[in-house]
Amino acid sequence: MKHLVLVSLFAGAMALPAMADYTIIAPANPGGGWDQTARTMQTVLQEEGISPSVQVQNVPGAGGTIGLAQFASQNKGNPDALIVGGYVMVGAILTNNSPVSLKDVTPIARLTGEYEAIVVPAASPIQDMAGLIEKLKADPGAVSWAGGSAGGTDHIAVGLIAKAAGVDPTKINYIAYSGGGEALAAILGNQVTAGISSLGEFEAQIQAGTLRLLAVSSPERLEGVDAPTLKEAGLDVAVENWRMVAAAPGLSDEQKAKVTADIEKMAKSENWQKQLADKGWMDTWLAGPEFEAQLDKDIESTAAILKDIGLVK
């Protein structure tokens, strides 16, 4: 028996060399999008020989703000430390009054992203976005929306849709679920009027015909997706749930360039592209000043809509 344990541990040892180079903080519990992004980065960075060994550390809590705060305070000037984050963090920083924000770390690049999809159960009488908006205008309370956690991307998107349709965003009947999965079950079970989540969560159901896709939140039509954008449906809304990687605060320009080069090498590798395709993630690579400008814009618009929904005073 002992022998077997040794064999198995040895198998583990060969798969995972001891030297750590990068340490990636996933500011969430195992299983979520950030954790998966971090672990995919770990795999690709190691397999592509960019880093001999990568460790992933989960620091869960409060929409990533706990991990972010810990990361910013403990790693000042450490070029080997990385943190995964995303659009949800932008909202969480605002709703939780987090003392540490994305300004306190060094954003490196946007890696992947997902667009939001608005769906109804196949049995629903609502046929298109116009039908849904009509119902929303008539009685906002009668339209229940199932989506992810309060103040998250899904909630923000519903707020933006209501606002664009001329409905008071505080009047939306948004029902928060802990994850896309639970929300999907509620939609499939005909418990709610409509559902909103990232397109990937719904894709298989849409193909199987159990959900009807009304619109997507991308700025332009998506290839292979048979649905209008919100803009085409007459609502001036575009939302992307992006995920990014950031480095520690206080890096020199050379250090920052080195990290960016490593991450770019990873993101441009075939291996990474294959992983994205497997997981149904989009490559939305954006780095440097363009990324920083985009980030500023997102922070500003998010703060405004959270105020409108009433989540931020």
Partner 1 sequence: MSVQRHEPPRRRDTAALIVAAGLAVIGGVMLWDSARLADLGGYSGVGPASVPRVVAWGLIGLAAWTAVEGLRGDFPERPAQNPAPVLWIVAGLAVQLMLLHTAGFSIATGILFAFTARAFGKRNLAMTIPIGIVFAFVVWTIFSQLLMLHLPAGPLEQLFFPGG
Partner 2 sequence: MGALDFLLQGLATAADPMLLLYALIGVTLGTAVGVLPGIGPALTVALLLPVTYRLDPAGSLIMFAGIYYGGMYGGSTTSILLNTPGESASIITALEGNKMARKGRGGPALATAAIGSFIAGLVATLLLAFLAPTIVKLALVFGPREYFALMVLAFVTVSAAFGDSALRGLTSLFLGLALACVGIDQLTGQARLSFGVPELLDGIEVTTMAVAMFALGEALFIAGQRVQVDDEVTAVKGSVWMNRQDWARSWKPWLRGTVIGFPIGAMPAGGAEIGTFLSYATEKKLTKYPEEFGNGAIEGVAGPEAANNASAAGTLVPLLTLGLPTSATAAIMLAGFQQFGLQPGPLLFATNPTLVWGLIASLLIANAMLLVLNLPLIGLWVRLLTIPKPWLYAGILLFATLGTIGANPSTFELGMLLGFGVLGYVMRLFGYPIAPIVVGLILGPMAEQQLRRALSISQGDWGYLLHSPIAATLLGLAALALIVPLILRARGKGQVLAQLAGDED
Beta pairing class for 54-58 and 22-26: parallel
Least CB distance from residue 36 to partner 2, whole Å? 5
Using the contact rule CB under 8 A, the part of the chain among 75-83, 94-102, 106-114, 225-233 near partner 2 is 94-102
Our CB check for partner 2 shows the closer of 58 and 217 to be: 58
Our CB check for partner 1 shows the closer of 39 and 231 to be: 39
How far is the CA of 275 from the CAs of 56, 173, 195, 266, 288, in angstroms?
17, 37, 27, 11, 24
Among residues 122, 128, 179, 271, the one that binds partner 2 under rule CB under 8 A: 179
Q: How many helices (H) and strands (E) does the chain have?
A: 11, 10
**Residue 208 binds partner 2 (CB under 8 A):** yes
Contacts of 275 (CB under 8 A, 6+ apart): 40, 43, 44
Q: Answer yes or no: are the C-beta atoms of 194 and 132 closer than 8 Å.
A: yes
Among residues 1, 4, 19, 208, the one that binds partner 1 under rule CB under 8 A: 19
Contact letters for partner 1, residues 153-182 (x by CB under 8 A): --------------------xx--------
Residue 229 gets which letter from DSSP? B
Q: How many residues interact with partner 2 (rule CB under 8 A)?
A: 62
Interacting partner of 273 out of partner 2, partner 1, none (Cβ under 5 to 8 A depending on kind):
none
Among residues 43, 48, 55, 164, the one that binds partner 1 under rule CB under 8 A: 55
Sign of the torsion angle spanned by Cα atoms 141, 147, 151, 154 = negative
Least CB distance from residue 249 to partner 2, whole Å? 18
Interacting partner of 55 out of partner 2, partner 1, none (Cβ under 5 to 8 A depending on kind):
partner 1
Q: Answer yes or no: are the C-beta atoms of 261 and 95 closer than 8 Å.
A: no
Interacting partner of 205 out of partner 1, partner 2, none (Cβ under 5 to 8 A depending on kind):
partner 2
Using the contact rule CB under 8 A, the part of the chain among 3-11, 110-118, 238-246, 254-262 near partner 2 is 3-11
- In angstroms, rounded to a whole number, what is the distance separating the alpha carbons of residues 82 and 94? 22
- For residue 199, report the phi and psi dihedrals to the nearest 5 degrees: -55, -40
Amino acid occupying residue 122? A
Among residues 30, 31, 166, 310, the one that binds partner 1 under rule CB under 8 A: 310
